[in-house]
């Protein structure tokens, strides 16, 4: 099992931003102004719920504790700048993969897999939190086809 002390400050910051990047990946897949607030709230709730497999519980708990501490201190998590000229999904996926690469060398395979599974719960909760499509919620769905595709892409990348 890895702990915060196993990671450099930059590596740790990457792990802190990973759940937000997973949620953002879903949000940019099907941008909806009306759903964005609910999706953000769903993402934050899922992060704090810490529904991670046992192999990653300690790592996820430490990551969430730091996210909550930063939030309590009114510190912002460093968010990467996205190039408005490029596809945001491509950029977010690259950032997420770069942030998680450190787990290959510092975490056990089970811990890495568990951390990825936790990120998928965050992404799924983000997708399910808002409603897309329809008119005045008539004909709308919780998870749009674009979000389903984004979830599948994320799952393929996270393993």
Summarised one tens digit per residue, pLDDT across range 99-119 is 999 999 999 999 999 999 999
- DSSP 3-state assignment of 18? helix
- Chain CA centroid to CA 12, Å: 15
Domain count, the chain: 1
What count of other Cβ atoms lies within 10 Å of the Cβ of residue 29? 23
- Find tokens 């936790």 and name the residue: 118
What are the start-end ranges of the H helices in 101-144? 102-106, 109-129
The confidence score (pLDDT) of residue 130 equals 73
Asked whether residue 8 carries a pLDDT value surpassing 60, the answer given is yes
Q: What is the rounded CA–CA span in Å between residue 129 and residue 65?
A: 23
Asked whether residue 135 carries a pLDDT value surpassing 60, the answer given is no
Least confident of 76-85, 89-98, 107-116, 122-131: 76-85
Cβ(74)–Cβ(120) below 8 Å: no
What is the residue range of 114's domain? 4-74+82-158
């Amino acid at each position: 099992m890895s702990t915060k002390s196993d990671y450099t400050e930059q590596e740790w910051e990457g792990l802190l931003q990973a759940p937000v990047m997973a949620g953002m990946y879903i949000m940019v897949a099907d941008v909806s102004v009306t759903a964005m607030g609910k999706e953000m709230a769903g993402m934050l709730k899922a992060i704090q719920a810490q529904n991670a497999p046992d192999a990653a519980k300690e790592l996820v708990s430490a990551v969430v504790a730091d996210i909550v501490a930063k939030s309590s201190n009114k510190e912002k998590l460093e968010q990467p700048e996205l190039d408005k000229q490029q596809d945001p999904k491509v950029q977010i996926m690259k950032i997420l993969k770069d942030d998680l690469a450190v787990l290959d060398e510092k975490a056990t395979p089970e811990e890495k897999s568990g951390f990825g599974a936790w990120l998928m719960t965050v992404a799924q909760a983000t997708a399910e939190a808002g409603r897309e499509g329809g008119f005045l919620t008539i004909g709308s769905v919780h998870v749009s086809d674009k979000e389903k595709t984004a979830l599948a892409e994320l799952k393929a990348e996270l393993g």
